Chains A and B, each alone.
Chain A
Amino acid sequence: MSYTQTTRSIYGNQLEDLRKQGIFKEERSIYSRQNSDIEVAFPIGAEHKHVINMCANNYLGLSSHPDVIKAAHEGLDSRGYGMSSVRFICGTQDIHKELEKKLTEFLGTEDTILFPSCMDANAGVFEAVLTDEDVMIADRLVHASIVDGMRLCKAQQDTYKHSDMAHLEEKLQLHQNKRIRLIITDGSFSMDGDLAKLDKIVELAEKYNAMVFLDDSHATGFIGKTGRGTHEHCGVLGKIDIITTTLGKALGGASGGCVSGRKEIVEMCRQKARPYLFSNTVAPVVVSGALEVIDLISKTTERRDKLERNTAFWRKGLTEGGLIIKEGETPIVPVMHFNAKLSQDFAKTLYDDGIYAVGFFFPVVPKGQARIRTQLSAAHEMHHLEKALDAFLKAGKRFDILHKTKQEVIAMYGQ
């Protein structure tokens, strides 16, 4: 079939519909390294502007750390640019095994397998370890990549209300006739910034003979006293059967992910997980950078401690200034607007004032829950945060939403 005018118009109409619905995504070009100060052109082609970045997953500020860049350069020189192979043919170098070992030690698990991304880890792990005799019971707010991975797996799917332990217990009781019950949760939920009640989840898993799966992508490196993740924070190190996480956020921010956990499960992934079997090995330069990251964060908690202080300052400043935020303790701090257009207009005002943050609305978050998701970084210095806070409060005053209740904001702007 050729690409006819009719075919072209099918896609053209769909794209136009997205624009009309206000959900067409546009990229912004960044002309600098990832950092707390970045040089941006938005829309693409517009004049470049230096702004403070409040929306990167660069939690530990390691994306452009000189030691990480140096290690990546050395890896590039010694191990080359690419491997031109999947892992099990001729794509495994000594450094891939070394990184898997270091991640295992850092996460406190039995074994680890690298994937090209955590999206791939989540896409592959369920199908590799579960069958139609089993059941997956997931928190309703887990990341989209988990939803996709579950859909690729033949095990029965069920869900429980977000962080509702009584509801999870009901579901575990309902599925006692299954061979394996797998409870599935994020550690830190990416849109709301709250943490899973992992201690309670482990307790229920032990009571009802279930395994626990944790996606800790928004926690690895900085949640918990030594940054091991949500399992450290909740006092259940060593009790999580499957952890997936990413190298694409706090751990240097380049790419790559992993499944870490019980050694038999990791081995099943090596034998059966399709994104591992059929896509290229993680590039040597990325592996070399990640090895340095693990060394840096294993030596000192300085960066996660600074991130914790930045988070406390930011949450306190926004709350005392009169904006509504989702309560919590993580560096993901959603500033609530409820109305989609308000969140977009607020973000535009911030950008004009030199602050880069993005509005999220349905279908990324539930209807009536529009927000600007801010994310803190150890790369933020106090002057960045003071300037950003000032801009948020100025915008809040301009839109007259300071010290207003949720109902008052909705009454002014709609839901």
Chain B
Amino acid sequence: MENAKDAVLDYVRKEYLEDGDDRVVEYDTPLISGGIVDSFSMVSLKVFLETKYNIQIPDAKATPEAFDSVNNIVELLKGFGVN
């Protein structure tokens, strides 16, 4: 089964990069501070994580810092028992 790290990376690339986008997203790429995901479209990432892993991420934990890279997101998911 695909691990969370790869699943999140794959989702971020598909969800936030446009066709022909020359930006590169890796595990440690800054997403929010790097301007790839903004505070508005970040809600889609939250919907994805909650739907895929059947969890509820409280707003207090869904912060721009927690969502600022794939690595950070994976750390957040560990708190919900997702690896």
The CA of A147 and the CA of B42, in the complex, are separated in Å by 12
Chain A CB within 8 A of B63 CB? no
Nearest residue in A to B16 (C-beta to C-beta)?
A161
Stretch at the interface among A99-107, A115-123, A152-160, A387-395: A152-160
Query: Shortest distance in angstroms between B38's beta carbon and chain A's nearest beta carbon?
Result: 8
Chain B CB within 8 A of A367 CB? yes
* B contact residues around A159 at 8 Å (CB): 40-41, 43-44
Indicate if the CB atoms of A147 and B51 lie closer than 8 Å.
no
Chain B CB within 8 A of A42 CB? no
Of A158, A174, A366, A367, which is within 8 A of B43 by CB? A158
Indicate if the CB atoms of B18 and A161 lie closer than 8 Å.
yes
Known A-B contacts A161-B18, A362-B35, A366-B35; A140 and B47 likewise in contact (beta carbons under 8 Å): no
Indicate if the CB atoms of A157 and B18 lie closer than 8 Å.
no
* A contact residues around B38 at 8 Å (CB): 140
Of residues 361 to 390 in A, which have CB atoms within 8 Å of B's CB atoms? 362, 366-367
Indicate if the CB atoms of A174 and B18 lie closer than 8 Å.
no
* A contact residues around B35 at 8 Å (CB): 362, 366-367
The CA of A158 and the CA of B15, in the complex, are separated in Å by 12
Indicate if the CB atoms of B41 and A140 lie closer than 8 Å.
yes
* B contact residues around A362 at 8 Å (CB): 35
* A contact residues around B43 at 8 Å (CB): 157-159
Of residues 1 to 52 in B, which have CB atoms within 8 Å of A's CB atoms? 15, 18, 35, 38, 40-41, 43-44, 47, 51
The CA of A367 and the CA of B43, in the complex, are separated in Å by 20
A-B interface contact total, Cβ < 8 Å:
22
Nearest residue in B to A140 (C-beta to C-beta)?
B41
Nearest residue in B to A162 (C-beta to C-beta)?
B18
Query: Shortest distance in angstroms between B41's beta carbon and chain A's nearest beta carbon?
Result: 5
Nearest residue in B to A138 (C-beta to C-beta)?
B40
The CA of A92 and the CA of B51, in the complex, are separated in Å by 46
Indicate if the CB atoms of A140 and B51 lie closer than 8 Å.
no
Indicate if the CB atoms of B44 and A147 lie closer than 8 Å.
no
Query: Shortest distance in angstroms between A142's beta carbon and chain B's nearest beta carbon?
Result: 8
The CA of A147 and the CA of B40, in the complex, are separated in Å by 7
Of residues 244 to 269 in A, which have CB atoms within 8 Å of B's CB atoms? none
Query: Shortest distance in angstroms between B47's beta carbon and chain A's nearest beta carbon?
Result: 5
Residue-wise, chain A 136-177 has the 8 Å CB interface mask toward B (1 for contact) of 001010000001000000001111010000000000001000
Indicate if the CB atoms of A140 and B40 lie closer than 8 Å.
yes
* A contact residues around B41 at 8 Å (CB): 140, 159
Known A-B contacts A366-B35, A367-B35; A158 and B40 likewise in contact (beta carbons under 8 Å): no
* B contact residues around A140 at 8 Å (CB): 38, 40-41
Query: Shortest distance in angstroms between B28's beta carbon and chain A's nearest beta carbon?
Result: 19
Residue-wise, chain A 331-363 has the 8 Å CB interface mask toward B (1 for contact) of 000000000000000000000000000000010
* A contact residues around B18 at 8 Å (CB): 161
* A contact residues around B47 at 8 Å (CB): 156-158, 174
Query: Shortest distance in angstroms between B29's beta carbon and chain A's nearest beta carbon?
Result: 14
Nearest residue in B to A156 (C-beta to C-beta)?
B47
* B contact residues around A161 at 8 Å (CB): 15, 18
Query: Shortest distance in angstroms between A104's beta carbon and chain B's nearest beta carbon?
Result: 31
The CA of A362 and the CA of B47, in the complex, are separated in Å by 26
* B contact residues around A138 at 8 Å (CB): 40
The CA of A147 and the CA of B47, in the complex, are separated in Å by 16
* B contact residues around A367 at 8 Å (CB): 35
The CA of A161 and the CA of B18, in the complex, are separated in Å by 8
The CA of A201 and the CA of B41, in the complex, are separated in Å by 19
Query: Shortest distance in angstroms between A178's beta carbon and chain B's nearest beta carbon?
Result: 11
A-B pairs with the 9 shortest C-beta distances?
A157-B43, A367-B35, A159-B41, A159-B44, A147-B40, A140-B41, A158-B47, A158-B44, A159-B43
Interface residues of A, Cβ cutoff 8 Å to B: 138, 140, 147, 156-159, 161, 174, 362, 366-367
Query: Could you pull out 14 A-B pairs where Cβ atoms are within 8 angstroms?
Result: A138-B40, A140-B38, A140-B40, A140-B41, A147-B40, A156-B47, A158-B44, A158-B47, A159-B40, A161-B18, A174-B47, A174-B51, A362-B35, A366-B35
With A174-B51, A367-B35 known, 4 other A-B pairs at CB within 8 A are A158-B43, A158-B44, A158-B47, A161-B18
